[in-house]
Amino acid sequence: MRFAILEDDPAQLEVLMGWLKEAGHDVHGFGLARELMRVASRESFDLFLVDWGLPDLSGEQVLRWLRVERSNDTPAIFITARDAEEDIANAFSAGADDYVVKPPRRIELISRIEAVLRRSQPRTTNQTLVVGPYSFDLAKKSLVVDGSPVEMTDKEFELAAFLFRNLGRLLSRGHLLEAVWGRNPDLATRTVDTHISRVRSKLNLRPENGFRLTPTYNFGYRLERIDPSEAPSVGEVALSSS
């Protein structure tokens, strides 16, 4: 998972990042609210961990910006010293999914994070992810579509599975790159575009088949499930392109 932590105390930020990296997550730390907001405008995350008191803007203002201005429903947890009932109520009103009072405890925090993510992610059973005609065996890295196996490389499979796990979400190229290839400075985001094209072709992700995999300029991609009846007919496509 890819997390963003907003915490202006360098020591506290280092501790939190250490805990979550040990738990196997990719973690990005920010000391200023506007710094996180700048990055969140062009990158996607699986979870935001937000402090309340910050030098520039409050954590509440950041969360309201995410929810209202960016229409971003990524799960968010407040980690703050504020423990008044009114503050907690305001945090949930701003769109928080959970609230942790400082000092956080490692096991409790990780458990709360896992609980929030379980509510936001599709469930898988016995290492199998099934969405419509697409059946992913996550352990064997094999995919069957309408009963027929699809030949894919490991990276193509991982990318396809990640897209289907995040059906409907707009995912940045950086997020996709980290999730599938890890943090590798030698890889360009063009790698994502190339593999997206292959996945779209091999899985036939077309509106007429009930799925749409579309790019968003200067950001990334979104895989959506749609009603095939809403897809334009061949005649309409030809007419619109003439």
Please write the tens of the pLDDT for every residue from 50-77: 999 999 999 999 999 999 999 999 999 9
* Whether the predicted pLDDT of 216 surpasses 70: yes
**Residue 17 and residue 29 in contact, taking contact as beta carbons nearer than 8 Å:** yes
Angle at 124 (CA atoms; ends 48, 223), nearest 5 degrees: 65
User: Do you find a cis peptide bond into 103, omega within 30 degrees of 0?
Assistant: yes
Tell which phi-psi region holds residue 127, choosing left (phi > 0), alpha (psi between -120 and 50) or beta.
left
**pLDDT tens digits for 134-187?**
999 999 999 999 999 999 999 999 999 999 999 999 999 999 999 999 877 677
CA gap 75, 1 in Å, rounded: 12
Kindly report the pTM of this predicted structure.
0.84
Domains and CATH numbers, the chain: 2-120 (3.40.50.2300), 128-234 (1.10.10.10)
Distance from chain centroid for Cα 50: 16
**Residue 225 and residue 131 in contact, taking contact as beta carbons nearer than 8 Å:** yes
Lowest-pLDDT range of 40-54, 85-99, 177-191? 177-191
* Whether the predicted pLDDT of 240 surpasses 60: no
